[in-house]
Amino acid sequence: MTAREGTGHAACHHGEILQGVFLDERGRRRAGLVTLPLAGLGTRARFVRRPGTEDVTVVPADRTKALRAATYAMAECATLRQEPLCGGELRLTGSVPVGLGMGSSSSDVIAAVRAVADAFGARLAPDAVARLAVRAERASDPLMLDGRPRLFAQREGRVLEEFGAALPPAVVVGCALGGGRPVDTLALPCPADDDADVTAYEHLRAQLRRAVAAADPVLLGHVATESARRRQRVLPHAEFGTLTDIAGRVGAVGVQIAHSGNVAGLLFDPAAPDLRDRVARCARSLDAAGIPTTYTFATSATAATRPPTHRTAHHPTPLEPPHGRAHRGSDRPTRPDTRRRTAHLPAL
């Protein structure tokens, strides 16, 4: 048997709109989240099967979660295809910053699983990919699914609720908190949510359901802000008060913060008659507060009133297309100790 190659890709996200503890269909408490999709950034994986060998390797060598996922996927695909196991090499490239709460490890893991399946000529259903991803990294973001808004139980790899076809239209001005320093997710405390917390999260869940049904960006912004406010108990951000103050002054409908990282955004109603001015004032206010702006994007194509832009403090430039320069391996740290590296958000 000759070497067989497969490829896979997975996107990332811009943190969460909502995250907390919710009730499942049987009334049991389950950790869950709703992510904010972000097109253009992601991980690309290439897997080459090596018949006659046993070792499976990964490049860069620190991507141990992706390596575990590849080995689990190999066992599953070999069983499906009734083929013998063998060794192989997994190579990952991409531009998702590590430790900012954008799903970098989930992107690696899912891309790896897809590449292995492709190398076997197998097709794995999204729920099978989710199961393998959770097994490889204990909790996974729902990047194996399409971009529709879902409440996803990240520790179980299953959907708790589907809200609809798309999030309400909104324009997001992205920024990086904490100087863009990575966050060690595994070091975060596990919140002890009580009945009052579950009630509050269920209320936000119901509000998000209404926001999606009515395509209401104002209600979407409220849910994102309140969810981020509650998450300050787990991962406090010194800039949270500044973000909400700026949001009020420039007419944003809400604040969105990754619940396990430092990426954040201010949400705007795209129907606002002075949207361009609001977005410009927002960027200036963030820069003046020492919060670096990153890029502006929309939750949907209809929400955008102009092409999204990647910003530095003084030099906005057009974003590149989703399949352009975004996938650069040099943008990803290649060591496991991400806490010692400052992550940078690249242009899309």
Pairing outcome for strands 56-59 and 87-94: parallel
Whether the bond between 60 and the residue before it is cis, its omega within 30 degrees of 0, is yes
Q: How far apart are CA 261 and CA 177, in angstroms?
A: 9
Instruction: Please enumerate in sequence order all residues whose Cβ is within 8 A of that of 250, keeping only pairs 6 or more positions apart, or say none.
Output: 266, 278, 281, 282, 285
Instruction: Quote the pLDDT of residue 193.
Output: 80
Instruction: Please enumerate in sequence order all residues whose Cβ is within 8 A of that of 228, keeping only pairs 6 or more positions apart, or say none.
Output: 240, 255, 256, 257, 259, 264
Could you read off the pLDDT tens digit of each residue along the chain, which spans 348 residues? 556 999 999 999 999 999 999 999 999 999 999 999 998 899 999 999 998 899 999 999 999 999 999 999 999 999 999 999 999 999 999 989 888 999 999 999 999 999 999 999 999 999 999 999 999 999 999 999 998 999 999 999 999 999 999 999 999 999 999 988 877 666 666 777 889 999 999 999 999 999 999 999 999 999 999 999 999 998 899 999 999 999 999 999 999 999 889 999 999 999 998 999 999 999 999 999 999 998 899 997 666 544 344 443 333 323 222 222 223 333 344 333 333 333 344 433
3-class DSSP string for the chain: CCCEEEEEEEEEEEEEEEEEEEECCCCCEEEEEEEEEEEEEEEEEEEEEECCCCCEEEECCCCHHHHHHHHHHHHHHHHHHCCCCCEEEEEEEECCCCCCCCCHHHHHHHHHHHHHHHHHCCCCCHHHHHHHHHHHHCCCCCCCCCCCCEEEECCCCEEEEECCCCCCCCEEEEEECHHHCCCCHHHCCCCCCCHHHHHHHHHHHHHHHHHHHHCCHHHHHHHHHHHHHHHCCCCCCCCHHHHHHHHHHHCCCEEEECCCCCEEEEEECCCCCCHHHHHHHHHHHHHHCCCCEEEEEECCHHHCCCCCEECCCCCCEECCCCCCCCCCHHHCCCCCCHHHCCCCCCCC
Answer for the pair 17, 35: CB distance below 8 angstroms, yes or no: yes
Answer for the pair 10, 43: CB distance below 8 angstroms, yes or no: yes
Instruction: Please enumerate in sequence order all residues whose Cβ is within 8 A of that of 78, keeping only pairs 6 or more positions apart, or say none.
Output: 84, 85, 120
- Which one, of 321, 301, 51, lies nearest residue 165 by Cα? 301
Instruction: Quote the pLDDT of residue 2.
Output: 58
What are 256's strand-pairing partners? Answer: 265
Domains observed in the chain: 4-340 (3.30.230.10)
Phi-psi region of 298 (alpha: psi -120 to 50; beta: other; left: phi over 0): beta
The C-alpha torsion from 132 through 135 and 139 to 145, rounded to 10°, is 10
